[in-house]
Amino acid sequence: MPDLITHTAAAYFVMRPGKFARFRVAFYVGTILPDILSRPFYILKPELYRYTIAVHTPIFIILFCFLFAEFFDREIRKDVCNFLLLGAALHFFLDLFQRHLLTGYLWFFPFSWKSFEIGLYWPETPLYFIPLWVGLIFVIESVRYFRQRRGFEKHTGSRG
Protein backbone atom coordinates (compact mmCIF):
# COMPACT_ATOMS: atom_id res chain seq x y z
CA MET A 1 0.00 0.00 0.00
CA PRO A 2 1.33 3.43 -0.72
CA ASP A 3 1.15 5.05 2.66
CA LEU A 4 -1.72 7.26 3.77
CA ILE A 5 0.25 10.45 3.12
CA THR A 6 0.87 9.40 -0.47
CA HIS A 7 -2.79 8.53 -0.97
CA THR A 8 -3.84 11.86 0.54
CA ALA A 9 -1.29 13.79 -1.54
CA ALA A 10 -2.58 12.09 -4.70
CA ALA A 11 -6.11 13.06 -3.69
CA TYR A 12 -4.95 16.63 -3.14
CA PHE A 13 -3.46 16.85 -6.64
CA VAL A 14 -6.53 15.25 -8.25
CA MET A 15 -9.25 17.13 -6.34
CA ARG A 16 -8.52 20.80 -6.89
CA PRO A 17 -10.64 23.55 -5.37
CA GLY A 18 -13.57 24.54 -7.46
CA LYS A 19 -17.01 23.28 -8.26
CA PHE A 20 -16.80 20.17 -6.04
CA ALA A 21 -14.89 21.68 -3.10
CA ARG A 22 -17.86 20.90 -0.86
CA PHE A 23 -17.16 17.17 -1.24
CA ARG A 24 -13.38 17.35 -1.02
CA VAL A 25 -13.30 15.73 2.41
CA ALA A 26 -15.43 12.81 1.20
CA PHE A 27 -12.97 12.31 -1.66
CA TYR A 28 -10.02 12.35 0.78
CA VAL A 29 -11.73 9.90 3.12
CA GLY A 30 -12.50 7.60 0.20
CA THR A 31 -8.86 7.71 -0.81
CA ILE A 32 -7.65 6.34 2.52
CA LEU A 33 -10.74 4.28 3.35
CA PRO A 34 -9.48 0.82 2.23
CA ASP A 35 -6.39 1.13 4.43
CA ILE A 36 -8.20 2.66 7.39
CA LEU A 37 -10.73 -0.17 7.42
CA SER A 38 -8.33 -3.06 6.90
CA ARG A 39 -4.90 -2.20 8.29
CA PRO A 40 -5.52 -1.58 12.01
CA PHE A 41 -6.79 -5.11 12.58
CA TYR A 42 -3.77 -6.95 11.36
CA ILE A 43 -1.26 -4.35 12.51
CA LEU A 44 -2.47 -5.02 16.04
CA LYS A 45 -2.94 -8.76 15.47
CA PRO A 46 -0.96 -10.00 12.44
CA GLU A 47 -2.65 -13.39 12.60
CA LEU A 48 -5.87 -11.68 11.46
CA TYR A 49 -4.44 -10.88 8.00
CA ARG A 50 -6.14 -13.89 6.45
CA TYR A 51 -9.52 -12.63 7.70
CA THR A 52 -9.09 -8.94 6.88
CA ILE A 53 -7.78 -9.27 3.32
CA ALA A 54 -11.35 -9.14 1.96
CA VAL A 55 -11.84 -5.71 3.53
CA HIS A 56 -9.24 -4.21 1.17
CA THR A 57 -11.19 -5.18 -1.96
CA PRO A 58 -13.33 -3.10 -4.31
CA ILE A 59 -16.56 -5.01 -3.57
CA PHE A 60 -16.29 -4.44 0.20
CA ILE A 61 -15.43 -0.76 -0.22
CA ILE A 62 -18.34 -0.21 -2.61
CA LEU A 63 -20.74 -1.74 -0.11
CA PHE A 64 -19.20 0.24 2.74
CA CYS A 65 -19.50 3.53 0.81
CA PHE A 66 -23.20 2.89 0.14
CA LEU A 67 -23.74 2.15 3.83
CA PHE A 68 -21.65 5.08 5.07
CA ALA A 69 -23.43 7.56 2.79
CA GLU A 70 -26.74 6.64 4.42
CA PHE A 71 -25.67 8.62 7.49
CA PHE A 72 -25.79 11.90 5.53
CA ASP A 73 -28.75 14.13 4.65
CA ARG A 74 -30.82 12.89 1.73
CA GLU A 75 -29.84 15.92 -0.40
CA ILE A 76 -26.12 15.15 -0.36
CA ARG A 77 -26.16 11.38 0.15
CA LYS A 78 -25.62 10.51 -3.50
CA ASP A 79 -22.75 13.00 -3.89
CA VAL A 80 -21.04 11.81 -0.72
CA CYS A 81 -21.27 8.22 -1.92
CA ASN A 82 -19.94 9.14 -5.36
CA PHE A 83 -16.96 11.06 -3.98
CA LEU A 84 -16.16 8.30 -1.50
CA LEU A 85 -16.20 5.84 -4.40
CA LEU A 86 -14.06 8.10 -6.58
CA GLY A 87 -11.51 8.44 -3.78
CA ALA A 88 -11.47 4.68 -3.27
CA ALA A 89 -10.99 4.20 -7.02
CA LEU A 90 -7.92 6.45 -6.84
CA HIS A 91 -6.67 4.39 -3.91
CA PHE A 92 -7.05 1.12 -5.79
CA PHE A 93 -5.48 2.66 -8.90
CA LEU A 94 -2.35 3.55 -6.90
CA ASP A 95 -2.28 0.12 -5.24
CA LEU A 96 -2.48 -1.59 -8.63
CA PHE A 97 1.11 -0.57 -9.42
CA GLN A 98 2.63 -2.30 -6.38
CA ARG A 99 4.44 -5.59 -6.23
CA HIS A 100 4.32 -8.10 -3.38
CA LEU A 101 6.40 -11.08 -2.38
CA LEU A 102 3.65 -13.49 -1.44
CA THR A 103 0.16 -12.16 -1.93
CA GLY A 104 -1.26 -9.07 -3.53
CA TYR A 105 -4.72 -7.60 -3.49
CA LEU A 106 -7.78 -9.63 -4.39
CA TRP A 107 -9.26 -7.29 -6.98
CA PHE A 108 -12.15 -9.56 -7.98
CA PHE A 109 -12.97 -11.04 -4.58
CA PRO A 110 -15.28 -13.00 -4.01
CA PHE A 111 -15.33 -14.10 -7.65
CA SER A 112 -11.62 -14.82 -7.79
CA TRP A 113 -8.90 -15.47 -5.23
CA LYS A 114 -6.13 -14.50 -7.67
CA SER A 115 -4.12 -11.36 -7.32
CA PHE A 116 -3.14 -9.08 -10.16
CA GLU A 117 -0.64 -6.26 -9.95
CA ILE A 118 1.49 -4.32 -12.38
CA GLY A 119 4.50 -4.45 -10.05
CA LEU A 120 6.30 -1.15 -10.64
CA TYR A 121 7.31 -0.53 -7.02
CA TRP A 122 7.43 -2.10 -3.58
CA PRO A 123 4.90 -1.01 -0.94
CA GLU A 124 7.50 0.98 1.02
CA THR A 125 8.82 2.93 -2.01
CA PRO A 126 6.30 5.82 -1.69
CA LEU A 127 7.67 6.52 1.79
CA TYR A 128 10.75 8.04 0.17
CA PHE A 129 8.60 10.61 -1.59
CA ILE A 130 6.76 11.93 1.48
CA PRO A 131 9.01 15.01 1.81
CA LEU A 132 8.41 15.79 -1.86
CA TRP A 133 4.59 15.49 -1.57
CA VAL A 134 4.45 17.53 1.64
CA GLY A 135 6.80 20.16 0.19
CA LEU A 136 4.81 20.51 -3.03
CA ILE A 137 1.54 20.87 -1.15
CA PHE A 138 3.12 23.44 1.18
CA VAL A 139 4.37 25.51 -1.77
CA ILE A 140 1.04 25.33 -3.62
CA GLU A 141 -0.96 26.29 -0.53
CA SER A 142 1.47 29.11 0.33
CA VAL A 143 1.19 30.57 -3.15
CA ARG A 144 -2.60 30.29 -3.00
CA TYR A 145 -2.69 31.95 0.42
CA PHE A 146 -0.53 34.90 -0.65
CA ARG A 147 -2.48 35.37 -3.89
CA GLN A 148 -5.75 35.46 -1.96
CA ARG A 149 -4.28 37.83 0.61
CA ARG A 150 -2.94 40.17 -2.10
CA GLY A 151 -6.35 40.11 -3.82
CA PHE A 152 -8.04 40.92 -0.51
CA GLU A 153 -5.69 43.88 0.11
CA LYS A 154 -6.32 45.27 -3.39
CA HIS A 155 -10.08 45.20 -2.86
CA THR A 156 -10.08 46.63 0.66
CA GLY A 157 -7.27 49.11 0.20
CA SER A 158 -5.60 47.95 3.40
CA ARG A 159 -1.87 47.44 3.67
CA GLY A 160 -0.23 45.43 6.38
pLDDT at site 62: 96
Q: Angle formed by the axes of helices 74-96 and 4-14, to 10°?
A: 120
Residue 32: per-residue pLDDT: 94
Count of domains for the chain: 1
The pTM of this model reads 0.78
* pLDDT (tens digit per residue) in 60-116: 999 999 999 999 999 999 999 999 999 999 999 988 888 776 677 777 788 877 777
Q: What is the mean pLDDT of the chain?
A: 83
Residue scoring higher pLDDT (66 or 128): 66
Domain holding 141, by residue range, is: 4-156
pLDDT in tens, 31-65: 999 999 988 877 888 887 777 788 889 999 999 99
